[in-house]
Amino acid sequence: MDIQEQEGKRSRPVISLVLPCFNEEEVLPETTRRLTALLDRLEADGEIDPASAIFYVDDGSRDGTWGLIAAYSRQNPRVCGIKLSRNRGHQNALLCGLMTAPGEVLISLDADLQDDLEAIPRMVQSYRAGSEIVFAVRSKRETDSPLKKFTAQAYYRMLAFLGVQVIYNHADFRLMSRRTLEVLRDYGETHLFLRGLVHQLGFKTDIVEFERMERFAGESKYPLSKMLSLAWQGVTSFTAYPLRLITGAGVLVSLASLAMAAWAFCLRLFTNEALPGWASTVIPMYFLGGVQLLSLGIIGEYLAKVYESSKNRPRFHVETVCGLPFGKAGVK
């Protein structure tokens, strides 16, 4: 044990920056320049080991993203690349990088430079002070549109209501130690929602706040449809509460139907106001039909997850890698 560890502070770690990429050729030159400068600065300050590197994960890009990554890996000893055989989605690409890249500490972030790079030194300091996981959390949402801000806040409130434990305003910008990554490796879930999984690992955690920037170049690769899909993934992967809501809705509908039947019986028995009409038949029929279809859809979603998980198919395939560290560490 060295002097730093005896004093309660870890020695400078080998860190790997993991960045999933999908059609990011416009922003990669600037991202590489800034990240290289950051690692050089942290090394000069004695915060990280000289073997620290950048790992780009090409998630089946259709532009020149992989060509740039391969070129940078030849020119820059800090740059490494992992190319997936096809597009597998952001969460699977991120998991591939986390499970493949070497290093004592791995930090995941987006390639579009919206994540504040100046939060990384504070994350490393928190790790050296003893934290195993460090979550980078947005301090405010000034760069979001009113619709984006409203939907994001509604999403986190919905997850909390349904019992899903996540860090408010945290996406996938985080630091994880090798110890926690080996625990994460034991999770064999087909449908990934990493911001929920990582929070469940336990261990000593810390939070670092940052301000999210405007995208440096290009367009967002996460349109509304993908964000809604990820939101639904988080709900159905971490809680059975929607199924319990179906049960509650069934009880309420049954009670309402019994009350309506009792009201109709009393109206017919004690008054002359009962008139035949289509509303009393058609409206309940359509209402009950809608509830049944919604219930079947939610149940079907859970059954589909069970079906896809039972096939136990690989979540990704690595087509090729580039960069010096792979020659030492290998690909897992």
pLDDT at residue 7 tops 50: no
CATH architecture of 3-223+314-329: Alpha-Beta Complex (3.90)
pLDDT for the residue 1: 38
pLDDT at residue 196 tops 80: no
- Asked which of 162-176, 193-207, 268-282 is least confident by mean pLDDT, the reply is 268-282
pLDDT for the residue 326: 54
pLDDT for the residue 71: 93
pLDDT band for position 6 (50/70/90)?
very low
Tell me the per-residue pLDDT of 60-114, one tens digit each, with 9 for 90 and over: 899 999 999 999 999 999 999 999 998 888 888 999 999 999 999 999 999 988 8
pLDDT for the residue 292: 75
Mean pLDDT of all residues in 40-64: 93
pLDDT band for position 212 (50/70/90)?
confident
> What are 276's strand-pairing partners?
none
**Main-chain dihedrals φ then ψ at residue 90, nearest 5 degrees:** -55, -45
pLDDT for the residue 320: 87
pLDDT for the residue 146: 72
pLDDT for the residue 4: 44
Q: How many residues does the chain have?
A: 332
Tell me the per-residue pLDDT of 245-296, one tens digit each, with 9 for 90 and over: 776 776 677 667 667 667 666 766 766 665 565 446 656 776 776 677 667 7
pLDDT at residue 230 tops 90: no
pTM listed for this prediction: 0.71
Alpha carbon distances (Å) from 135 to 64, 103, 119, 316? 31, 18, 10, 25
Helix (H, G, I), strand (E, B) or coil at 106: strand
Tokens found for residue 269: 């028995």
pLDDT band for position 19 (50/70/90)?
very high
pLDDT for the residue 315: 75
pLDDT band for position 5 (50/70/90)?
very low
**Main-chain dihedrals φ then ψ at residue 254, nearest 5 degrees:** -65, -45
Strand locations in the chain (E) = 15-21, 53-58, 79-84, 105-108, 133-138, 170-177, 205-210, 318-322
Helix residue ranges, H only, 88-165: 90-100, 119-128, 146-161
Mean pLDDT of all residues in 291-309: 70
- Asked which of 163-167, 236-240, 321-325 is least confident by mean pLDDT, the reply is 236-240
- Between these two residues, 224 and 257, which has the higher pLDDT value? 257
pLDDT for the residue 330: 36
Domains of the chain by residue range: 3-223+314-329, 241-311
- Dist CA 176 CA 181 (whole Å): 7
